[in-house]
Amino acid sequence: MNKDFWELWIEDDKVMGDDFQKYIKSKKIKIETEKEELIKGHLDKADHNLKFVKSTLELKEFNDWAIVSAYYSIYHASLALCALKGYSTKDHSATLLILIKEFYIKHLSKEEIDIVGNSSIEKEEVLHYVEARNKRSRASYSTDIVFDKNEAEKLRLKAISFVNTVKNIIDTST
């Protein structure tokens, strides 16, 4: 079974580091000095998108747009985390790479994990991002009109959870 590129980043620090350098050189990842404004702006946009998801689901016929907006709430929260580490990007894969590089912890002792505490993202959170990205792509680009409201609601709840996780990380890091 073939692995997704992001799974290789989780498993192989060298591959992740090499790809990170490629993204820096290609300017898909940029170094930022004014982080606070970016963090706030992306969190505000994430909250705004979550409000839109909720109101869209009440309309009962635009579940595809609820899925798209839920994804973008996760994406903007992810961009806030990128900004927290001094990066910006407009590339979805580069964003995922930064999340894995900076927030996903896999080989630390218990003492180190306690020190890092709330500034790590579990694999499940990374999977929420990837799952939402795939659903957003389908909702945005397919010719399907009808999308399951339950699927959209589940993604909305995952988006809320992800945004709250990001806010906790940012609150404990600043």
Domain count, the chain: 1
Is 123 in contact with 59 (CB distance < 8 Å)?
no
Q: Flag whether 165 is in a domain.
A: yes
- HEC letters along the chain: CCCCHHHHHHHCHHHHHHHHHHHHHCCCEEECCCHHHHHHHHHHHHHHHHHHHHHHHHHCCCHHHHHHHHHHHHHHHHHHHHHHCCEEECCHHHHHHHHHHHHCCCCCCHHHHHHHHHHCCCHHHHHHHHHHHHHHHHHHHCCCCCCCHHHHHHHHHHHHHHHHHHHHHHHHHC
Specify if 14 maps to a domain. Answer: no
* Residue 114 domain boundaries: 49-173
Each residue's pLDDT, cut to its tens digit, for the chain (174 residues) gives: 566 777 788 889 999 999 999 999 999 999 999 899 999 999 999 999 999 999 998 887 887 788 888 888 989 999 999 999 999 998 888 988 898 888 886 433 334 323 333 334 555 555 566 677 777 666 655 555 556 788 788 888 988 988 998 898 899 887
The predicted pLDDT at position 118 comes to: 31
CATH code of the domain in which 100 resides? 1.20.120.330
What pLDDT does 86 receive?
96
Could you tell me which residues come within 8 angstroms of residue 85 by beta carbon, excluding any fewer than 6 positions away?
98, 102
Using alpha carbons, list the distances in angstroms from residue 173 to 70, 79, 86, 103.
25, 15, 13, 12
